[in-house]
Amino acid sequence: MPVLGFVLALLLLGSAPKKSVQTVTRADGEEFVEWCIADEQASSEELQVALDWACGKGGADCGRIQPHQPCFLPNTVKDHASFAFNSYYQKFKHKGATCYFNSAAMITDLDPSHGSCKFPYLP
């Protein structure tokens, strides 16, 4: 019966959920830094739905994209969604969160911060 146990173990391991890697270590030991931003190809409607979820049930910190705050401008759905997606991703990535948002988001290694609007990164 050891073969049956081995096969059962393989089946269980093969069906285990796979966690996405949040950071990658380069050959020189440095870590790649990642932000989650709105995908350029997503429609404004898709971004708005995902933005509403991120700032609502998702638990992203969206205070900085409110009027008179550092990330309000530019006042576009894409820019606000990028900040909200990244806030959610950085806050929850170590609990298994992904940068997906129903395919409205993508990972970048280029810091999307601009002016006084700083996009957080948590290792």
pLDDT in tens, 54-89: 999 999 999 999 999 999 999 999 999 999 999 999
Average pLDDT over residues 11-30: 44
Provide the residue count of the chain.
Answer: 123
Predicted confidence at residue 32, as pLDDT, reads: 82
Task: Output DSSP code: residue 17.
Answer: P
Q: What's the whole-model pTM score?
A: 0.76
Dihedrals phi, psi of 38, to nearest 5 degrees: -65, 140
Predicted confidence at residue 17, as pLDDT, reads: 33
Strands 105-108 and 35-38: antiparallel
**Does residue 117 carry a pLDDT above 50?**
yes
Query: What are the beta bridge partners of residue 106?
Result: 37
Query: What are the beta bridge partners of residue 108?
Result: 35
Query: What are the beta bridge partners of residue 25?
Result: 31
**What 3-state DSSP class applies to 19?**
coil
